[in-house]
Amino acid sequence: MIAAVTVLPAIADAAPEGLAEDPELIPDLQRSLDSVAARLRDAGSAPGECLSDARERLARAAEAVEQGEPSLRALQLIDNLDELVEQLDAALVDLNAFVENRPARTIVSIGYHRDVWGALRNGFRAFLGILGAGTFCYWVGWSDGGDMIVIMAVCCSLLATTPDPFKASFNHAIGVCIGVVVAVLCKFLLLTGTDGGAAELALAVAPPLIASFLITDPRFAGVAGAARLFFAVTLAPTNPMTFDLASTLNSALATIVGAVFATYLYRVVLPLNPKKEVARLIGAVGAEIESIRTGPIGGRALTESRIYHQLVQLTTRLDPARPENKTMIAKAFTETRAALALQRARTALASPGVSQDARSLLEGAIAEGASHRALSETASALAAAAHGAALPARQDLIRASAALAEAAALADASDERLLAA
């Protein structure tokens, strides 16, 4: 599905020129995809066979374009459409297997961005925080200080993965204070005046829990989520209800101190530098793109999911309202698509029937920096070489030339964005 969604912008950018031999190809494909979407919306199975005819027609359309004057633009569109149908077909087969409780045809590995330095930093901070909290509780002889250590462990682990841990911990601490204070008031002012019935309990706790629906608003999600959780933890309703003021206040104080101390810890112990984080992510994206261009051909799903995970993390750390940030994200996405197009071309040319000369042409274009001119010339040369090649090498050459045409167009767009920035 990631691959299918990725190819959609390329289809939107390509004009359906050169498809006069099959003018109903695009409308028929649209109807097939609409049928698949309707079945999925109704939670029904969508057999992949409904797209097999589309792949055959796309192959014939590519053959017709190749027999005439090769139009790289048309070949690019056909290749993108074939890529879309192929990836959707694979996704539908495995989706139907899941719905019918059958083993999937393939097991797709998903890649994630691994930030080793960030993990070491967060681990060291958590170690110091928990050690400090435990030492403090031991030094003052606080028997109920275990709650402080628990809240410290939670804050130093879960909140460390957010784009801005200090802000997240600050909102979390506010929510903890609100939830704990409201729970203490509710428990010792409202519930002590009831006879312990379920109706009275429900009426007493209803207002705070209803207010916690602010969690659906991104502006208050951190505060409301913590308030809701620690309201329930501090209230700790039992049957029969017990009212131990000293124990409750001890636990409440330990929870509040732990949340506040975690916020202070994020501020003073290896604080996050947003600019350095963005620079490191950009470097990771650039290294991933370079490895796709020049490294060994690896698993496509693993590569795509890992680099898009990096791009998602990058977007959460940049202000999208600033034009330079929008340009940076757009350029990173464009270069990613170009690198994946190069990977498709290298995969097509890795077939046994393709000559070494064709592979050398592609590697030469990459060695020259994968510029728009070099990729366009190589795409034209491979399309011309496909005329005299036999099947299935001819189809591989056509697919490689189409992928290179897309990479050339994307390289040109990336240069334009760079100049605009």
pLDDT per residue over 306-333, tens digit each?
Answer: 888 888 888 888 887 788 888 888 888 8
Q: Is residue 329 part of a domain?
A: yes
Residues 130 and 270 in one domain: yes
Based on the domain organization, do 268 and 369 belong to the same domain?
no
* Shared domain check, 395 and 258: no
Domain count, the chain: 3
283 in any annotated domain: no
To which H or E segment does residue 250 belong?
helix 245-268
- Give the three-state DSSP class for 111: coil
Residue finishing a domain among 40, 70, 99: 99
Better-scored residue on pLDDT, 421 or 7: 7
Residues 386 and 323 in one domain: yes
Reply yes or no on whether the pLDDT at 420 is more than 50. Answer: no
Looking at the structure, do residues 27 and 72 belong to the same domain, yes or no?
A: yes
Residue-wise pLDDT for 8-47, tens only, equals 877 776 655 556 566 777 788 888 888 777 777 776 665 5
Residues 191 and 309 reside in one and the same domain: no
* Opening angle at CA 62, ends 61 and 66, nearest 5: 120
Same domain, 330 and 388: yes
- Give per-residue pLDDT as tens, 254-272: 999 999 999 999 999 999 8
Give the closest residue to 29 by CA, choosing from 42, 41, 17, 16. Answer: 16
Q: Does 128 lie in the same domain as 221?
A: yes
| Tally of helices (H runs) and strands (E runs) in the chain | 16, 0
The dihedral of CA 131, 135, 136, 138: what is its sign?
positive
Q: Which amino acid is at 372?
A: H
Domain assignment present for 104: no
Residue with tokens 């990631």: 2
Average pLDDT over residues 218-227: 88
| Residues 94 and 203 grouped into a single domain | no
| C-alpha span between 232 and 226 (Å, rounded) | 10
Q: How many CA atoms lie within 13 A of 384 on its CB side?
A: 7
Co-location of 93 and 120 in the same domain: no
Residue the block writes with tokens 């950018």: 13
Nearest to 85 by CA among 50, 130, 122: 50
Residue range of the domain that includes 414:
302-420
Same domain, 54 and 199: no
String of DSSP letters for 347-393: HHHTSTTS-HHHHHHHHHHHHTT--HHHHHHHHHHHHHHGGGPPTTH
The last residue of a domain, from among 99, 125, 154: 99
Residues 313 and 221 in one domain: no
Domain-embedded: residue 351: yes
Q: Are 407 and 376 in contact (CB under 8 A)?
A: no
pLDDT at 394: 83
| Cis peptide bond prior to 392, omega within 30° of 0 | yes
User: Is 134 contained in some domain?
Assistant: yes
32 part of a folded domain: yes
Q: Answer whether residue 177 is part of any domain.
A: yes
Give the per-residue pLDDT at 15.
59
**Where among 38, 67, 99 does a domain terminate?**
99
Please report whether residue 413 resides in a domain: yes
Looking at per-residue pLDDT, the higher value among 349 and 91 belongs to: 349
What's the whole-model pTM score?
A: 0.74
